[in-house]
Structure 1
Amino acid sequence: MPLTSFLPFLYISVLFTYSPAFGFEHNVKPHCPPDKEVCEFDWVVDYVETMIYYEDGGAGHPIVVRNGSLYQRSSCNTYIPIDISKDSEKAIFADGSYKLIYGINGHYPGPSVVVYEGQQVVVNLKNNLLMEGLTIHWHGMVQWHTPWMDGVGTVSHCPINPGETFQYRFLADPPGTHWYHSHLGTERTDGLSGALIVLPKPEKLENLRDDLPELSGDFVMVVTDWKLDASIETKSEADWGLNPFSYGFNETKCYSITLDATGGAVGLFPFESALINGRGNHYLNKDNPEQPDIPELPTETFVVNRYGYYRFRVINTGMLFAFRISVDKHDIQIISVDGNDVVMTSAESVIVHGGERVDFIILASEDIANYWVRAQSIEDTNSEGPVVQDTALAVLRYNGSREVQPKTHRYECRPKDPCRVVNCPFGQYPDSYSITCVAASELKSTSAQIKAHPVPIASSPLEFQEIFLNFHFSYGNTYVLVMFFLKVNKIYPKQENTTTSCESLNCTDHCKCTYIVKLEKDKTVQIVFLNMDDAPFGMPHPIHMHGHHFHVLKTGFPHYNSTTGEILDRNRDIKCSTKSCNGASWRNEEWNFGNVPGLNLENPPQKDTIAVPRNGYVVVRLKADNPGYLILSIK
């Protein structure tokens, strides 16, 4: 049966049961053999609490710290020691705090979906929650002919209500590192997310690229910021302007927003902790990560053999913070972004924003020992002066080394040997940092990638559509949400007047409306993503496009003070008709119809999520060949 013949909304009545099981499998293992046409998963979404030891039958016991050791408290006065080597699969330790979250089959992160390109993925999802609806968005899947399976609540389909079961069914395409998450409310950052890995068909491997060594291992690395409060509470308090009281409404000390090296906002609320594959810790002494608050908690550990090559698939599923990823004493070789192959690029570290994925390879050629894998925030200062970057840690353990915490340090960037940092959200760090920034647009697609997905070129202006979209922070506004669709028959909401169109308003600057962009089918579409703000807390932020992977042709940065790194002026390639840059256009009219200088039309990288620099822009291009109602959103 062809995939296009499936009903767009398929609710089925099936009884699923599960017992809590918490071990996250970070090794990439396909769920089905490559010759199987349909790969099926049964999921139950239910509540689960961190730092609770769950028995096989579902009963739980709190995990507590006593005299420097972890115990499960099975009764008021009974404490049973936790053996991390045996019991770590019985609980979600997170950062050592107790927090009620959503789990999929009892897992956090959710179970990894590892399938082969072209397989039909079937997920039977039962909502066991008491009062929350949910949807699952398959981030990175283009959903050819199945836009109703994109999983955006109230856009792709109605939320799955408590007690209901819904069947997702779609083709695994394109191959690469992707992820899934709830696309309703704030559920994504309270547990409902996981890795989605689409492996190339075995017969295609030989023709994909010849620059990759034979791998000894393939790891998933899910990184996220983590807060004790529920995400809806954090989001609501930020909306109400309560950020200064983030330390507590009755606390004397107030919180000061942290800034990046250019003066853009990073921490709109305090960084509490971060997790790697569901494990982390608190560090009251940020200067000494060897002294976590709860040293007894397990740390995510990747075991390697010396002289082996290992692939890391990094996914940032977090709410706010970008992370600079590095491995002590090891260079990283970036090979893929958002599931799309790029020419191997060497770096000291790579910055991964919310929603982005980056694959890199390391060669385990150092001494047999333990090394820190770091996910570091890009915070730099606040109103009181410089701040120490917050960090999540994992361990790279060479086989044969002792099971102890590493004593290593990250590479020190020096003027004569600067650090190369890929995917910078700004054009440069201050000169004193000795960091060379590489923008995402400077990466190059491999020859096989660009052959399979060439840059669309319009043969006449009639086949070309250019759109300027300004996603930005502004006084009294947090962000802009854009819906776009291709004009085709039979794919449209049935209801009328479900939105207030921005076109119907005489909007001079700020309006509350749904901005709907109509793409004309099969045209070459060039979108200029802007981030021109009029707020003191503006920041670079990632934008995700559903239903397409676009070519990243150019990044336009603002003007910086090379000594301090601070932004002096917004990029002047763009002409803004209002203070918040509505009605943007090219300042030089000769740049219209795709005639922008500096576009890489030969081998640009492809992505589905791109961080737009503050007071700058990114030019992307795609072919409007995937009809449906889809959205653009800030992750």
Structure 2
Amino acid sequence: MAESVYLVTFLALLGEGIVLGFAPFDHDVTPSCAENETICEFKWQINYTETMVLYDNFGDDGHPLMYRNGSFYKRLDCGVNQQTTEEELLNTLTGDGSYKILYTVNGKFPGPSIVVYEGQEASLIIVYRLRTISMVFRNIIFIVVVRVKNSLSKEGVSMEGVTVHWHGLYQKGTPWMDGVDMIGQCPISPGQSFTYRFIAEPIGTHWYHSHLSVQRTDGFAGALIVLPRSRNRRSSDQNEKIEKEFVVLAQDWFHQSSIELTQHFIWDLRRYAFGENATRCFFASNIRKTDGGLAGFMLFQSGVVNGRGHNYPEWGDTPMYPVLPYETFVVKSNRTYRFRLINSGNAFPLQVSVDKHKLELISTDGRDIRGVETDAITTVPGERIDFLLRTTSTPDNYWFRVEANGAGKTKAIVQYESVEKEVPVSKEKTCTEDDWCTDINCMVQVYPSDTYRNCTKISDLRISPNDRARRSVPRAKNDGTFKEIFLSVHFQTVTDFAHINGKSFIKPTSALQTYPNMSEAIVDCDSSEIHCYLEVCFCTHIIKVALGTTLQLVLVNPGPLVNESELGLQHPMHIHGHTFHVLKTAYSHYNDSAISVSLNEDILCDSVYCDHPKWSNDTWGGDNIPGINLEDPPIKDTVLVPRHGYTVIRFTANNLGFWFFHCHIEIHQIMGMALILQVGDVDEMPPTPKNFPTCGSFDFSQEEFEKLVENSKRDTNDTGETSVQSDLKLGTGLSSVREELEEHNKGPPCNNTDQKNKDTVYVIAICVLLVLMIILAGMLCWQRYTNDVTTNGHSSARYVLLHAGEGNESREDSNYLTFRKL
């Protein structure tokens, strides 16, 4: 019977074009559809999947992997273990070897890559189902259409909504496809389906991820790459032959779920990150950066590259589980490879390098820049970098290093195909006075002199000459179309409040892009009734501008307190629906020992919290700011705001809609470091598609409730209508209804003898049927039991109830039972 159930399900899924199974993440950049197609369609299903569990072909049963004596074993049953093969280990979502529930797309972590051509229409359909069957969907080559089935409910155990944000895409004309819950759309509930359709633009390395709760860093993310069509490829793209392109998603990795991590912030439990029962506590002051600040506000436990990583206890060099597979990029000698790297993490900046190799940075956030050769490149969460790796004539296995700002690390491998795959023994570069180390996008600008390190700021990069003509910097004007706004981004370490300009963001109760009554959907920051505490107010922070306004945002990061030398972190700020020019990045004020001591002198604060900063020089502003680049600055959508520093960005608000602007440290965004940029009035914005789902709060009066209760007590007339419905048609009121009821009750009492006799017969019949059904069920169960206990082998999927024992011993004398579902 069980086989027939699976067969029916399997055939039904095949009828939908679905193929079941698991496979390792494919890191090759391979187009998902042909270049001449105008539509590229995808089908997805979102599942719960646990790391370090080997699932069967249907994903409904799993075998945990356990580490014993230097090897991994899969648990077939209690006391029955079998050593895993290399193939089985490769087909398991390993993470860093710890057990953790993930949100996976088609059973994959990271999710399957979307690789499309510019201008193609993308479509994604999300459907929620109550039954979880892990699936892998083949890409259907039509529009860029992604059909997503959400199976985040396992037989009612959990009911979670999802949304999908397409990080880096403009969504011009389709703001309700941006995928931010309660801004662009309502969360998609279990049992519902949702189709995303959008145009793939601009060209470059982007990504997708959940934008609901903290699902992003627990697996729900993947690459979204937009390739140029042949006719639009620039001449500079053909200067050097690229042998192959790789996708790299790198992130910090935590053994707890992100929901638990977030709640630990709220409950002030971060100090117990080593374990609630552990004797020692975690303090950020235990790990410091070169500028004297803290490396992180939470414990870095480990990291993963394309879903594979290792846990290095006590920040050492020996992994906890050495036999776990490394993500491996196979290359040939004397070739050039393009790596498209995405920092998909929760909180930590990640520095990338490859032993014995230089990297050439050629793109940031999907936008081409003039190539810069370097030893390392640092990224913050949400950023993407494309770099070229030129292999040498010395084949070997080399470490692909991912360092977390001094707080921890993880590794992958670059393997030359002419050598056997082995754990590398290569060493990272030693910085000397004669051979300095170089980094790009550093967390600090000044290093102690004896470290022999140089840093290139993001604002020092230059866009590719081929982009300059069509991406010129809009200039400041005095005609009312230019606005300069200071935004002070804050995470108060003591209170764990996250906010911008003293306003901690509260989500609307209705999705703004569905155009609800704004006054009912938001908590107005200008209201005298909003809740405030310790100079922080909790409201729906909205900045509204007219279409075509040029905005210059001065992003200031004063830390929790302006003159606090230790506390404070960098913040990666991301904008939706737009890209911006990075005109200037300014770091902290340093002393002679390269220690950060206070906020950059260019900024004047009104208080120690600096919620309303301004230029320290009254003559500055607009185009008149020392050190800004108005000629060829880089273009990005996610940018670092250094600790005790500031970053100046400029863009034209040319995309109608409600757009999220927030810190991409996921916990900071969840806790309020966000605002909404409203471009244009609602009546100017694109109307939602027909039947686009809406949501919101609900309330009704006591008077209406009493009326409904009164009406529900009315009898039903002979036509099947309630008395109220009949009254409405006849134009009578409640008084006439009461009179009719009273008159009806004056009649002679009903004789219920016949009805009672009928009821007795019905009860007897039902009792007889129940007895027969119980007898029949018992006979079937006995037959099933006698058949199963004679079956040779304990792993059959058909048995319902079996005695369980150790190994292949007889099960008749076991002292417990094992239940298995059909």
TM-score by length of 2: 0.71
From 143, 156, 179, the equivalent of 1:151 is: 179
Q: Does 1:329 align with 2:356?
A: yes
CA distance in 2, matches of 1:575, 1:62: 57
Give yes or no for contact 2:459–2:633 (8 Å, CA) kept in 1. yes
Query: Alpha-carbon deviation of 1:550?
Result: 0.4
Paired letter, 1:33: A
Give yes or no for contact 1:439–1:555 (8 Å, CA) kept in 2. yes
Structure 2 counterpart of 1:140: 168
Paired letter, 1:251: A
Q: Does 1:198 align with 2:226?
A: yes
From 532, 538, 552, the equivalent of 2:582 is: 552
Alignment of 1:246-395 (within 5 A): 246-257=273-284, 258-284=287-313, 286-288=315-317, 291-379=318-406, 389-395=407-413
Q: Does 1:187 align with 2:211?
A: no
Give yes or no for contact 1:176–1:339 (8 Å, CA) kept in 2. yes
Aligned partner of residue 543 in structure 2, secondary structure = strand
Query: Alpha-carbon deviation of 1:561?
Result: 2.1
CA distance in 2, matches of 1:603, 1:358: 18
Structure 1 counterpart of 2:559: 533
Q: Does 1:501 align with 2:527?
A: no
Give yes or no for contact 2:183–2:513 (8 Å, CA) kept in 1. no
Deviations 1:443-474 (A, max 9, x none): 00001122232111244342211111111122
Alignment of 1:25-44 (within 5 A): 25-44=26-45
Distance 1:484 1:190, change over 3 A: closer
Stretch deviating more after TM superposition (191-200 or 571-580): 571-580
Q: Does 1:480 align with 2:499?
A: yes
Paired letter, 1:226: W
From 657, 660, 663, the equivalent of 1:634 is: 663
Deviations 1:319-375 (A, max 9, x none): 111111000000000000011101000110011111111110011014111000000
Query: Alpha-carbon deviation of 1:178?
Result: 0.8
Paired letter, 2:192: E
Give yes or no for contact 1:23–1:88 (8 Å, CA) kept in 2. no
Stretch deviating more after TM superposition (134-143 or 453-462): 453-462
Ranges in structure 1 where 5+ consecutive residues have no aligned partner: 1-13, 380-388
Structure 1 counterpart of 2:70: 68
Structure 2 counterpart of 1:453: 471
Structure 2 counterpart of 1:5: none
Alignment of 1:101-112 (within 5 A): 101-112=102-113
Structure 2 counterpart of 1:383: none
Deviations 1:580-619 (A, max 9, x none): 2122222222212332121101100011001101111100
Aligned partner of residue 111 in structure 1, secondary structure = coil
Q: Which has the higher contact order (CA 8 A, sep 6+)?
A: 1
Q: Does 1:57 align with 2:58?
A: yes
From 413, 428, 434, the equivalent of 2:431 is: 413
Paired letter, 2:421: E
Alignment of 1:513-532 (within 5 A): 513-532=539-558
Stretch deviating more after TM superposition (346-355 or 162-171): 162-171
CA distance in 2, matches of 1:294, 1:200: 42
Paired letter, 2:33: C
Paired letter, 1:127: N
Structure 1 counterpart of 2:670: none
Aligned partner of residue 122 in structure 1, secondary structure = strand
Query: Alpha-carbon deviation of 1:66?
Result: 3.1
Give yes or no for contact 2:329–2:415 (8 Å, CA) kept in 1. yes
CA distance in 2, matches of 1:324, 1:262: 16
Q: Does 1:578 align with 2:607?
A: yes
Q: Does 1:603 align with 2:632?
A: yes
CA distance in 2, matches of 1:361, 1:18: 35
Structure 1 counterpart of 2:449: 431
Give yes or no for contact 1:311–1:359 (8 Å, CA) kept in 2. yes
Aligned partner of residue 234 in structure 2, secondary structure = helix
CA distance in 1, matches of 2:625, 2:330: 47
CA distance in 1, matches of 2:585, 2:506: 23
Paired letter, 1:524: T
CA distance in 2, matches of 1:433, 1:497: 56
Structure 1 counterpart of 2:756: none
CA distance in 1, matches of 2:546, 2:473: 18
CA distance in 1, matches of 2:596, 2:449: 14
From 245, 265, 289, the equivalent of 1:238 is: 265
Give yes or no for contact 1:338–1:609 (8 Å, CA) kept in 2. yes
Query: Alpha-carbon deviation of 1:18?
Result: 5.8
Query: Alpha-carbon deviation of 1:626?
Result: 0.5
Distance 1:613 1:303, change over 3 A: same
Distance 1:133 1:272, change over 3 A: same
Stretch deviating more after TM superposition (14-23 or 440-449): 14-23
CA distance in 2, matches of 1:324, 1:347: 12
Structure 1 counterpart of 2:538: 512
Aligned partner of residue 662 in structure 2, secondary structure = strand
Q: What's the % identity of the aligned pairs? A: 39
Structure 1 counterpart of 2:127: none
CA distance in 1, matches of 2:224, 2:179: 14
CA distance in 1, matches of 2:191, 2:292: 47
Query: Alpha-carbon deviation of 1:20?
Result: 4.3
Deviations 1:222-267 (A, max 9, x none): 1011111111111111222212121122322111213322233332
Aligned partner of residue 178 in structure 1, secondary structure = strand
Paired letter, 1:34: E
Aligned partner of residue 318 in structure 1, secondary structure = coil
User: Which has more helix, going by share of residues?
Assistant: 2
Q: How many residues align?
A: 605
CA distance in 1, matches of 2:427, 2:596: 31
Aligned partner of residue 360 in structure 2, secondary structure = strand
Give yes or no for contact 1:540–1:614 (8 Å, CA) kept in 2. yes
Give yes or no for contact 2:499–2:536 (8 Å, CA) kept in 1. no
Query: Alpha-carbon deviation of 1:36?
Result: 0.5
CA distance in 1, matches of 2:516, 2:470: 33
Deviations 1:207-235 (A, max 9, x none): 4546x511111001110111111111111
Distance 1:490 1:431, change over 3 A: closer
Query: Alpha-carbon deviation of 1:521?
Result: 1.1
Aligned partner of residue 584 in structure 2, secondary structure = strand
Q: Does 1:176 align with 2:195?
A: no
CA distance in 2, matches of 1:51, 1:318: 20
Aligned partner of residue 295 in structure 2, secondary structure = strand
CA distance in 2, matches of 1:406, 1:141: 38
CA distance in 2, matches of 1:200, 1:43: 25
Give yes or no for contact 1:20–1:107 (8 Å, CA) kept in 2. no
Ranges in structure 2 where 5+ consecutive residues have no aligned partner: 1-14, 125-146, 154-158, 665-822
TM-score by length of 1: 0.91
